[in-house]
């Protein structure tokens, strides 16, 4: 069920996020790692818009979540792909929405299995509040509040266009 909430324009937020990151990252050395699924879609956009040289990485945090025993493995789980050296790298974790911070914590834990980055930033399209861990995005063009029973989901159309939907949990 969808609410009557005015949803942000995901395409415009991708452009605003890229603009916010310019000047704060080095296109020659910064690496992006998108969190499956929405974060990967956003990371693909950012990688192109920012002209980054390091190959794009992706990560699936399913096995690293602290609620894995309750939630289990997502049906479309994909393996992590980190095609660069993590040790000493500046990495920007990219996701569509930050909420409790638990997904980001899981992504950081998984990255450390590959090495010790010099720096990790977080870039998201939307911060919906409700943090349960002390995690905050470095780059975020939009904030909004939603009732706990709702989820803000990024969707990708067949033509590649991105949009948000609100769904009940």
CATH number of the domain encompassing residue 61: 3.40.50.2020
Does residue 3 lie in a domain region?
Answer: no
Write out the chain's pLDDT in tens, 169 residues. 444 678 999 999 999 999 999 999 999 999 999 999 999 999 999 999 999 999 999 999 987 866 655 555 555 667 899 999 999 999 999 999 999 999 999 999 999 999 999 999 999 999 999 999 999 999 999 999 999 899 999 999 999 999 999 999 8
Provide the domain count of the chain. Answer: 1
The reported pLDDT for the residue numbered 169 is: 85
Q: Which residues contact 45 (CB under 8 A, 6 or more apart)?
A: 14, 18, 162
pLDDT at 148: 87
pTM as predicted: 0.92
Question: What pLDDT score does 3 carry?
Answer: 42
Q: What is the pLDDT of residue 151?
A: 94
Query: Pairing between strand 162-168 and 150-156?
Result: antiparallel
- Beta carbons within 8 Å of 131's beta carbon, 6+ residues apart: 98, 99, 100, 101
13 touches 125 (CB < 8 A): yes
Give domain status of residue 142, yes or no: yes
**What range does the domain containing 27 cover?**
10-168
Is residue 47 one of the residues assigned to a domain? Answer: yes
Query: Is the torsion defined by CA of 91, 30, 44, 77 positive or negative?
Result: negative
Residue 99: inside a domain, yes or no?
yes
Q: Is residue 143 part of a domain?
A: yes
Note whether residue 1 is domain-resident: no
Q: Examine residue 5 and state whether it is found in any structural domain, yes or no.
A: no
Domain assignment present for 139: yes
Dihedrals phi, psi of 143, to nearest 5 degrees: -125, 145
């Amino acid at each position: 069920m969808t609410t009557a909430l005015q949803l942000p324009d995901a395409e415009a937020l991708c452009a605003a996020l890229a603009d916010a990151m310019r000047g704060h990252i080095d296109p020659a050395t910064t690496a992006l790692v998108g969190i499956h699924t929405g974060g990967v879609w956003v990371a693909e956009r950012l990688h192109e818009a920012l002209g980054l040289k390091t190959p794009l990485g992706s990560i699936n945090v399913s096995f690293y979540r602290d609620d894995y025993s309750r939630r289990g493995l997502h049906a479309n789980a994909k393996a992590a792909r980190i095609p660069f050296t993590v040790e000493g790298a500046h990495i920007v974790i990219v996701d569509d929405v930050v909420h409790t911070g638990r997904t980001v914590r899981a992504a950081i834990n998984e990255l450390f299995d590959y090495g010790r980055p010099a720096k990790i930033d977080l870039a998201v399209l939307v911060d919906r509040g409700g943090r349960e861990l002390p995690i905050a995005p470095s780059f975020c063009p939009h904030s909004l509040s939603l009732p706990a029973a709702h989820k803000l989901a990024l969707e990708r159309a067949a033509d590649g266009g991105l949009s948000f939907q609100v769904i009940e949990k």
